[in-house]
């Protein structure tokens, strides 16, 4: 297997930076409308091969681009994302556009409102190209749980793009969008970004409003950006972050200028390397690339020290109890009454519920609803759900202690590079272990960035995860910029 | 707390979750639930007797944090017709469902 080389791909293409596109629009060299058209042309050419977009919002995109062009021609001020073509993960609602969450149960659903993160993007001038494929209700690590077929990894189409935000990561890797929004509950932004060789951001819990995110596990769900470089991801986060009265868990902590912070360099930062993320199960080629990345941080003037996070091994079991319990409650809303699919063959209300849910949900979603319902049911609540909440506190406090001594923690984002389609679909537990390095930050609520950090001999991307304490996204971006700069 | 799920438990939990599982689905569910619960049993090794459960991370985040309370204020909500248009069956004012009470 190590001697195998990735199928050479002409599908990978680096998007232009926000600054390049903005400059072109400002001086009148290029029109936002032409940029949007060129993206739709490329989608037309290669989307069928990759299965990234589930639907397009062309009318809305071209109207928005025309607005940007009019403002530019009049010399009016342009928003920070003016004319930037973006894609939206299909678990985020966009008014009047199909929003399926990758599920059959929401086929045809056209929400009557925009998610807060989506409307903030548009207010900043971004052009919404369409909706991106993902695992059903964001449950999966390979995008193979989508009811609309898997996304293929543009680097090697025999391989998965990661999940659950597989479409969001692959879209940036294949330049079918300049940037995208995804969601991360246990690693669903960071792991696919790592598999596809792009930048992905897990903002602190509460940093970005969840209003309009079709809920999976509410105490864990977060919305964050994907981009082709760290600075653009930072710019995008500043646009979508901030308090929103529609999400009671959104934070009123002031939003930073994350792009400017990322410009500060990493010199003098204290970096912790937790031994628990380099143990059994870590692919040796991934380890080698991450160690090179850590060396580049030393060269950038960071001080690097080993640390220990002993509760790491409890994170996957804790995560799958907390996440499935919350999912079983959240997904109770899909009952065939108010929206989505209703089974035609039901004489009674109870039958209508169970038939609609049985026909509408896929296997992994049912598995998680069942596990969560079991863990919350009478007689098992203390042993499973309550126990997991207690271990969650231990994990969170362990990070708080670690961040008393270091500014950032670096780890591999995933234990392996992108695996092959079908490789793990028969074994749910093996699939869950693909999230082994990402669920810890999810449970603790801290922030992080994954940044490309070399590739295997076969050419498969490796990602480094940079974690920082609550609300310290700026620090994570500074470290990620240093790793990125060393990639050359 | 190792996996000790039996076929009748799968049936009971499916009923609680309003899922109608086929015999095939119920069989693989039984296997998967036990495999996953065997795996999560490792949490038993941790002594958590004096740990307070953490339901939500905002207390770890600290700082100015979230605003749990605000003034009550009237404001428009979504247009009723736009909401009802997404439902499988309505009479415009109400959602329609199969008969609930037999007489």
A217: contact with B, CB 8 A cutoff: no
In this complex, the residue of A316, A339, A392 whose CB is nearest that of residue B87 is A339
Confidence of residue A9 (pLDDT cuts 50, 70, 90): low
Dihedrals φ, ψ of A197, to 5°?
Answer: 75, 35
Q: Which residues of chain A are within 8 Å of residue B23 when distances are taken between CB atoms?
A: none
What is the average pLDDT value for chain A, to the nearest integer? 96
Spans of all domains in chain A = 18-276+282-309+397-485
Q: How far is A173 from chain B (nearest CA, A)?
A: 32
Q: Would you state the pLDDT for residue A2?
A: 42
pLDDT at position A179, please? 98
Q: Which of A249, A371, A393 shows the shortest C-beta gap to B53? A: A393
pLDDT in tens, A166-207: 999 999 999 999 999 999 999 999 999 999 999 999 999 999
Residues of chain A with pLDDT > 70, as a percent, come to: 98
- Output the pLDDT for position A271: 98
Domain A18-276+282-309+397-485, CATH class in plain words: alpha beta
Q: Please give the pLDDT value at position A267.
A: 98
Quick check: is A9 catalytic? no
Of A31, A89, A131, A424, the active-site residue reads: A89
In the annotation, is A246 catalytic?
A: no
Mean pLDDT of A254-281: 97
**Tens digit of each residue's pLDDT (9 = 90 or more) over A312-350:** 999 999 999 999 999 999 999 999 999 999 999 788 999
pLDDT exceeds cutoff 80 at A488: no
pLDDT > 80? residue A115: yes
- Which residues on B lie below 8 Å from A346 (Cβ)? 98
Its ipTM equals 0.94
- Picking from A109, A346, A390, the nearest residue to B86 by CB comes out as A109
Complete domains list, chain B, with CATH? 1-45 (1.10.20.60)
Q: What is the pTM of this model?
A: 0.96
Residues in chain A with CB shorter than 8 Å from the CB of B65 are 206, 251-253
A113 contacts chain B (CB < 8 A): yes
pLDDT 10s per residue in chain B (103 long)? 677 899 999 999 999 999 999 999 999 999 999 999 999 999 999 999 999 999 989 888 876 555 667 788 898 999 999 999 999 999 999 999 998 876 6
Closest CA to A41 of A147, A166, A175: A175
Residue A3 clears pLDDT 80, i.e. is over it: no
- pLDDT (tens digit per residue) in A122-156: 999 999 999 999 999 999 999 999 999 999 999 99
A250–chain B nearest CA distance, Å? 6
Q: Is the pLDDT of residue A404 over 50?
A: yes
174-213 in A: which are within 8 Å (CB) of B? 204-206
Identify the closest residue of chain A to B18 by CA–CA distance. Answer: A354
User: How far is residue A162's CA from residue A418's CA, in Å, rounded to a whole number?
Assistant: 7
Q: What was the pLDDT predicted at B62?
A: 74
pLDDT digits over A51-79, tens only?
A: 999 999 999 999 999 999 999 999 999 99
By C-alpha distance, the chain A residue nearest B16 is: A373
Residue B1 confidence (pLDDT): 65
**Residue A1 pLDDT:** 41
- In the annotation, is A188 catalytic? yes
């Amino acid at each position: 297997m190590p001697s195998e080389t990735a199928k050479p791909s002409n599908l990978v293409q680096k998007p232009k930076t926000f600054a390049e596109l903005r400059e072109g629009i400002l001086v009148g060299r290029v029109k936002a409308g032409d940029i949007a058209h060129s993206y739709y042309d490329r989608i037309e050419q290669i989307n069928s091969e990759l299965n990234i977009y589930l639907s397009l919002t062309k009318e809305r995109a071209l109207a928005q681009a025309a607005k940007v062009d009019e403002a530019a021609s009049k010399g009016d001020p342009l928003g920070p994302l003016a004319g930037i073509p973006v894609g939206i993960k299909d678990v985020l609602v966009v008014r009047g556009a199909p929003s399926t969450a990758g599920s059959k149960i929401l086929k045809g659903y056209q929400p009557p409102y925009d998610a807060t993160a989506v409307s903030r993007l548009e207010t900043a001038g971004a052009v919404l190209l369409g909706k991106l494929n993902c695992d059903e209700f964001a449950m999966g690590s390979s995008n193979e749980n989508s009811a609309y077929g898997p996304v293929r990894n543009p680097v090697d189409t025999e391989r998965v793009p990661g999940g659950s935000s597989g479409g969001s990561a692959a879209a940036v890797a294949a330049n079918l969008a300049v940037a995208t929004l995804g969601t991360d509950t246990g690693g669903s932004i960071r792991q696919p970004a790592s598999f596809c060789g792009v930048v992905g951001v897990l903002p602190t819990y509460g940093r970005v409003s969840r209003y309009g995110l079709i809920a999976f596990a509410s105490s864990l769900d977060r919305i964050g950006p994907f981009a082709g470089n760290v600075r653009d991801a930072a710019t995008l986060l500043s646009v979508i972050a901030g308090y929103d009265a529609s999400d009671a868990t959104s934070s009123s902590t002031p939003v930073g200028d994350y792009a400017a912070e990322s410009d500060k360099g990493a010199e003098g930062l204290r970096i912790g390397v937790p031994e628990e993320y380099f143990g059994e199960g870590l692919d040796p080629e991934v380890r080698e690339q991450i160690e090179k990345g850590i060396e580049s941080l030393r060269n950038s003037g960071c001080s690097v020290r080993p640390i220990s996070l002993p509760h790491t091994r409890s994170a996957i079991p804790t995560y799958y109890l907390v996440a499935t319990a919350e999912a079983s409650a959240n997904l109770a809303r899909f009952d065939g009454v108010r929206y989505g699919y209703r089974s035609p063959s039901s004489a009674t209300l109870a039958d209508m519920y169970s038939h609609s849910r049985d026909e509408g949900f896929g296997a992994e979603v049912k598995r998680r609803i069942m596990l969560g319902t079991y863990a919350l049911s009478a007689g098992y609540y203390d042993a499973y759900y309550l126990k997991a909440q207690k271990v969650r506190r231990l994990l969170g406090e362990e990070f708080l202690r670690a961040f008393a001594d270091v500014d950032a923690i670096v780890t591999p984002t995933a234990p392996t590079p992108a695996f092959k389609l079908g490789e793990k679909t028969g074994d749910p537990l093996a699939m869950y272990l693909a999230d082994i390095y990402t669920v810890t930050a999810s449970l603790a609520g801290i922030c992080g960035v994954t940044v490309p950090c070399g590739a295997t001999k076969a050419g498969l991307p490796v990602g480094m995860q940079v974690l920082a304490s609550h609300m310290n996204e700026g620090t994570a971006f500074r470290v990620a910029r240093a790793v990125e700069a060393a990639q050359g | 707390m190792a996996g000790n799920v039996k076929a009748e438990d799968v049936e009971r939990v499916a009923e609680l979750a309003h899922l109608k599982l086929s015999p095939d689905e119920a069989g693989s569910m039984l296997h998967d639930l036990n495999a996953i619960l065997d795996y999560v049993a490792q949490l038993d090794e941790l002594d958590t007797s004096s740990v307070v459960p953490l339901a939500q991370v905002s207390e770890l985040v600290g700082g100015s944090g979230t605003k749990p309370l605000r003034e009550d204020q009237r404001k428009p909500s979504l247009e009723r017709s736009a909401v009802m248009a997404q439902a499988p069956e309505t009479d415009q004012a109400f959602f329609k469902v199969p008969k609930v009470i037999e007489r």
